[in-house]
Amino acid sequence: MQAMIGPWTHIGPPLIAAFLASLVECVEALTIVLAVGAVRGWRLALGGAGAGALLLVVLVLLLGPSLRLVPIQVLQVVIGVLLLLFGTRWLRKAILRASGFIALRDETAQFAKQTDALQGDGGRDRVADAIAWTTAFKAVVLEGLEVIFIVIAVGAVGDLLVPAGIGAGLAVLAVVALGFIIHRPLARVPENSLKFVVGVMISSFGVFWLGEGLGLAWPGNDLALLGLIAGWLVLALAMVQILRSGAPATVGGRS
């Protein structure tokens, strides 16, 4: 039993964090690619998305090996700080959404907004096609950069790039498959709950690696990561309850 639990406490958190975070990013990219496909045709949507994915692969192949050249302590501090900033940004937003201070993100509304913007770009001319292609390309590149950052950040320091990469890959496959099947934005994905969980996990990784990089000790060594996840989760849930008591009755359309 211990032999089974051991590897999971090691590879489980980065795999789950990369999967859930990538799921959120892929759902957001899918909404835009679907809007381009629906308005300007699938050739442009898939062409732009494919070119974006190709650029991401080239970036990973070019920049990935250079990580090995960075001293481990520097890597721990830099990645720790970036994860802390990234994770707490998601967590704060998820808490403010869960407590009613800002509106939940609505993929259907985002889809309609993108569709309107693309329809407003005119007829079937070259400029409109180029705008549509670029929109799909940019969506995949921008959301994909976030996926790459998350995979590198949760996997690079602890030599866990493979499980983190598998987690992200599974999320990409799941979203692409669902996109092909239903041809609609994945509006029923509980995006704020996912952001809440991912914010907790990424913030935990951030503080852990930062502490390691600064030479601070953790009780239980690597197991402290589970304690940090519990600590951030309790804090986040408590803040939702505290803020809910003072939340406005209605929330506008901010997302």
Show contacts with other proteins in window 44-83 (CB under 8 A): 81-82
Q: How far is CA 80 from CA 49, 77, 156, 248, in A?
A: 31, 5, 11, 35
Name the segment binding other proteins (CB under 8 A); options: 30-38, 104-112, 187-195, 213-221: 213-221
Contacting residue, 57, 72, 127, 216, with other proteins by CB under 8 A: 216
Count H helices and E strands in the chain, helices first.
8, 0
Site map 148..187 versus other proteins, x via CB under 8 A: -x--------------------------------------
Residue 24 or 177 having the CB closest to other proteins? 24
The distance of closest approach from Cβ of residue 236 to other proteins in the complex, given in angstroms and rounded to an integer, is 8
Q: How far is CA 162 from CA 15, 140, 147, 185, 216, in A?
A: 9, 22, 14, 29, 27
The distance of closest approach from Cβ of residue 120 to other proteins in the complex, given in angstroms and rounded to an integer, is 19
The answer to whether residue 95 forms part of the interface with other proteins (CB under 8 A) is yes
Q: Are 15 and 161 spatial neighbours (Cβ–Cβ below 8 Å)?
A: no
198 CB neighbour count, 10 Å cutoff? 26
Contacting residue, 10, 113, 138, 184, with other proteins by CB under 8 A: 138
Q: What are phi and psi of 157, to 5 degrees?
A: -70, -40
- Provide the b/e sequence for 113-124 (b: ≥16 CB within 10 Å): ebbeebeebeee
- Structure-block tokens of residue 69: 């050249």
Site map 105..134 versus other proteins, x via CB under 8 A: -----------------------------x
The distance of closest approach from Cβ of residue 183 to other proteins in the complex, given in angstroms and rounded to an integer, is 27
Dist CA 106 CA 191 (whole Å):
9
Rg of the chain over Cα atoms, rounded to whole angstroms, equals 20
Contacting residue, 103, 243, 251, 255, with other proteins by CB under 8 A: 243
Contacting residue, 215, 249, 250, 253, with other proteins by CB under 8 A: 215
Name the segment binding other proteins (CB under 8 A); options: 4-12, 107-115, 145-153, 163-171: 145-153
Question: How wide is the angle at C-alpha 219 spanned by C-alphas 3 and 195, nearest 5°?
Answer: 80
Dist CA 133 CA 67 (whole Å):
32
Show contacts with other proteins in window 218-237 (CB under 8 A): 218-219, 224, 228, 231-232, 235
Residues that bind other proteins (CB under 8 A): 81-82, 84-86, 88-89, 91-93, 95-96, 99, 101, 134, 138, 141-142, 145-146, 149, 203, 207-208, 210-211, 214-219, 224, 228, 231-232, 235, 239, 243, 246-247
